[in-house]
Structure 1
């Protein structure tokens, strides 16, 4: 993440610029934390109705599900832009970058639901649809426009979720009801996203429960120093077991999967910001620019600078 300490270390000391001057020079996605919104009880969860004119490019470690009630504008998620209007829902996973710009005199009013991904995982049966959830933003789109009937259904779910969240936190069954309603809303989103014709639906075997927490952890911490050895120690299983289940359930090695996550994040930074490529390499978890450049070219078939130039030309 781009912290103040990181910025001063990279630029401040060298050029003696203030943090504000550095930010003025570089488009930097802001880091936002769930703790910045008031939690409604013991769950790492928040829901509210927000009125928005614009939001800066930002990212966070939690999932955000939003649903437009009124207004219009555009939203960019990982460099891909779509229109906002009533009935449009968006889903951003941890570390997905997004921003909103409203049309003049059409301020957006939306449900905003944010939560820690861990509250979704309480059953081995969840792996069936959570495997699809992690395809959002890559194989499946990050937004859908619901039909009139589905819009009514989603609106009712979110209204009930808002009402339930404002109940006393010690009320019996409150947390379970909240989690079940979140899952219903997300399942309807995933179902709609997976039915879009352009979506590339792969028929992978259902992920087994021992594998799911490992995969979830990697998605949240892929910018850190993650290795088979560190995962082995954290989850108390052998490194060879983790390596084997990656091949079994995803068809690729652990390192290939990790590199794919990092390069997708780097691609988003290349198209969404004007950060230097060296800084992007560091921010996405690569220890050296040489490794980053080699892996990027292997996966994208072009250099990072060529990728940035190509996408800037397309966006003009």
Structure 2
């Protein structure tokens, strides 16, 4: 495979209308792993190459023709796999960007609730998906009348295609890349269920019959996050939910999700969300009015 570099990026939108981001990129060589969690839905399509994607609680070997669908606030990371070099398109969008389409067709986001975040397209599905993605990329490149309207419509078409494909084809999680990836997945699920409890590396290693240093190193290599980074992400995600849906005091929320002090909670929350817990709650309440 011989790839020439290419980057196309468009990002715009507002809090009221909803943000939208599209990037089509072709990289001929290795690329550093990226990891994050954000408020928007993510849609990723791989044209060429191979990637290793960690989503939710396990890693996936992503191949050409694979769609990766990541819901809001889902920790995820992506890294090189096999021979360096790949071509992909990634989109991030909010529900607000789709506007009234979700009222008429709430099933447009159903694919984000599938058992597997990987939708492996057949030859016909690839042709249809790539035709829609090509139209989106060409539309995004041209600053002309109705661009946002057109992109919103094309995104709706793409999401509808994915939902229809998922309803007529078996969408199952691929096998684990290796037994070690399976064990790390078991550990992630364990942490997802017990994020509010103290995390002790020696106890975790003993429970899963693996040495502490090796567990720590492989967890970071496979997920993209250190143990403490991952646990803090899960704690902050639950804190966001509680701040949005309850009237619990901030200190009570901090204790509920496992932070030892309000100061630590505020520092980590701000680091991951770029705002304070109180401001986050105020903004969430404002959106509901």
TM range (shorter): 0.5 to 0.7
With normalisation by structure 2, the TM-score equals 0.55
Provide Cα deviations, 1:232-258, integer angstroms capped at 9, x if missing partner. Answer: xxxxxxxxxxxxxxxxxxxxxxxxxxx
Q: Work out the number of aligned pairs and report it.
A: 188
1:282 touches 1:288 (CA, 8 Å); kept in 2? no
Equivalent residue number for residue 129 of structure 1: 108
Equivalent residue number for residue 165 of structure 2: 192
Matches for 1:52-63 after TM superposition, within 5 Å: 53-63=31-41
Secondary structure at the aligned position of 2:90 is classed as strand
Equivalent residue number for residue 46 of structure 2: 68
Equivalent residue number for residue 80 of structure 2: 102
Alignment CA distance shift 1:162-1:279 (3 Å)? closer
Q: How far apart, in 1, do the equivalents of 2:127 and 2:233 lie?
A: 42
How far apart are residue 126 of structure 1 and its match?
A: 2.1
227, 237, 242: which one pairs with 1:274? Answer: 227
Q: How far apart, in 2, do the equivalents of 1:166 and 1:91 lie?
A: 23
How far apart are residue 119 of structure 1 and its match?
A: 1.3
Equivalent residue number for residue 81 of structure 1: 59
Alignment CA distance shift 1:109-1:76 (3 Å)? same
2:38 touches 2:72 (CA, 8 Å); kept in 1? yes
Q: How far apart, in 1, do the equivalents of 2:49 and 2:137 lie?
A: 20
Provide Cα deviations, 1:126-171, integer angstroms capped at 9, x if missing partner. Answer: 22433x24524xxx311111010110111111111011112224x1
Q: Structure 1 stretches of 5 or more lacking a match?
A: 1-36, 200-262, 294-316
1:163 corresponds to 2:138: yes
Q: How far apart, in 2, do the equivalents of 1:281 and 1:84 lie?
A: 24
Task: Give the superposed CA RMSD.
Answer: 3.5
1:39 corresponds to 2:11: yes
Secondary structure at the aligned position of 1:105 is classed as coil
Q: How far apart, in 1, do the equivalents of 2:91 and 2:231 lie?
A: 34
Matches for 1:112-261 after TM superposition, within 5 Å: 112-123=90-101, 124-130=103-109, 132-136=110-114, 140-169=115-144, 171=145, 173-195=146-168, 197=170
1:278 touches 1:289 (CA, 8 Å); kept in 2? no
71, 77, 82: which one pairs with 1:93? Answer: 71
Provide Cα deviations, 1:63-92, integer angstroms capped at 9, x if missing partner. Answer: 211110110132111122211111011011
How far apart are residue 106 of structure 1 and its match?
A: 3.2
Q: Structure 2 stretches of 5 or more lacking a match?
A: 1-8, 173-188, 200-218, 243-251, 259-289
With normalisation by structure 1, the TM-score equals 0.50
How far apart are residue 54 of structure 1 and its match?
A: 4.0
Alignment CA distance shift 1:291-1:268 (3 Å)? closer
Q: How far apart, in 1, do the equivalents of 2:86 and 2:21 lie?
A: 19
My pick for the range that moved more, 96-105 or 38-47, is 38-47
My pick for the range that moved more, 98-107 or 68-77, is 98-107
